[in-house]
Structure 1
């Protein structure tokens, strides 16, 4: 099957590391780049609607379900929460000790999942009136590896499990409820850059690696 490019978006001056799209409300595409900017795009036009300028390269980005806040992570190790309308930081979430490589909002929109070069995944409370200390839980057990790729993290449909790739060629899955390590799935020969649960209720996970292979794994 031949894939046809619909549109090419132009605006960043350096590598684009991550993108996310709004879930409801105004349709927006958000991008994160090594040029230190967060791009805000109307998918119907090729040029960015706006940019948020920061002081460091941005390596991870996510958008709140309502579309009013952007979560960004970069080489300064911090997760910043931006008011999209004001283009200003509302608050920051500190705790990672190295570059943040992946951000993902939970299915119920109450939590944010992050992963970092410090080899930990963390969850954060992103409810509007959450306590000042928003860190919920830290998940250990996934090796980053020497490649230092921008590894992504994901939730299952119910928000009960989280998954990340690892530098040892495995997919690591934890229980979100208690942080227990549930699975360490082998199969790849290189760093697993992303691991995604299927959008239905089947216990299937798709992984993609620097070994140029994509694998389907079944959780038993």
Structure 2
């Protein structure tokens, strides 16, 4: 699969028949693996490089992070009506380092998280869009985050060369 611009993040859909990519052209592309080179959908809305994509646990939604300082949730179901961007989240920050800050879903899909250049881990409620947690501790940009599959624990990785495990209320 060839993209006209540099690709910075990828993931599979839940069936493995599609590849989802984001890059420096500010656009998310959904590719059909069976019909190589075919872009099925282009998700537009971000205004800067996309640094992370993550598929929701049920496979219906995509979370994206961008240098434009927004996280977006997109409806990627096959027959989604009209506008596919269903929610926008803010609070975390990118900066001059232009690190590839990643994002993730909680196992039940009720929360999302993203790293931030302000050295915090941000966790939002997907329904209300409220920031539930702004976890401190790192001394550098938080580049990647993940929720434990069973326990109320966050994992974060930072430019400060540390990994943190932090407990959150479930």
The aligned counterpart of 1:28 is none
| 2:56 pairs with 1:92 | no
| 2:111 pairs with 1:174 | no
Per-residue CA distance 1:111-137 (angstroms, 9 max, x = gap): 000001111100000111101211110
The aligned counterpart of 1:137 is 87
Q: Pick from 144, 165, 170: which aligns with 1:216?
A: 165
Aligned residues: 168
Structure 1 ranges of 4+ moved more than 6 A? none
Measure how far apart 1:80 and its partner are: 0.6
Aligned-partner Cα distance in 2 for 1:175–1:210 = 26
Aligned-partner Cα distance in 2 for 1:124–1:178 = 16
Measure how far apart 1:145 and its partner are: 2.4
Measure how far apart 1:98 and its partner are: 0.3
Measure how far apart 1:218 and its partner are: 1.0
Q: Is the 8 A contact 1:174 1:183 kept in 2?
A: yes
Per-residue CA distance 1:81-103 (angstroms, 9 max, x = gap): 11111120011110101000001
Structure 2 length-normalised TM: 0.97
Structure 1 length-normalised TM: 0.75
Pick the structure with greater CA Rg.
Answer: 1
Taking the TM superposition and a 5 Å limit, the aligned residue runs for 1:155-170 are 155-170=105-120
| 2:2 pairs with 1:53 | yes
Aligned-partner Cα distance in 2 for 1:114–1:120 = 8
Q: Is the 8 A contact 1:163 1:196 kept in 2?
A: yes
Per-residue CA distance 1:169-213 (angstroms, 9 max, x = gap): 10001011121111100000000000110011x211010000000
Give unmatched runs, 5+ long, in structure 2.
none
Measure how far apart 1:146 and its partner are: 2.4
Q: Secondary structure at the match of 2:54?
A: strand
Q: Is the 8 A contact 1:145 1:191 kept in 2?
A: no
Aligned-partner Cα distance in 2 for 1:195–1:57 = 23
Q: Is the 8 A contact 1:146 1:167 kept in 2?
A: no
Instruction: With a CA cutoff of 8 Å and minimum separation of 6, indicate the structure with the bigger relative contact order.
Output: 2
Aligned-partner Cα distance in 2 for 1:70–1:133 = 20
User: Over aligned residues, Cα RMSD in angstroms?
Assistant: 0.8
Q: Pick from 13, 27, 42: which aligns with 1:64?
A: 13
Give unmatched runs, 5+ long, in structure 1.
1-51
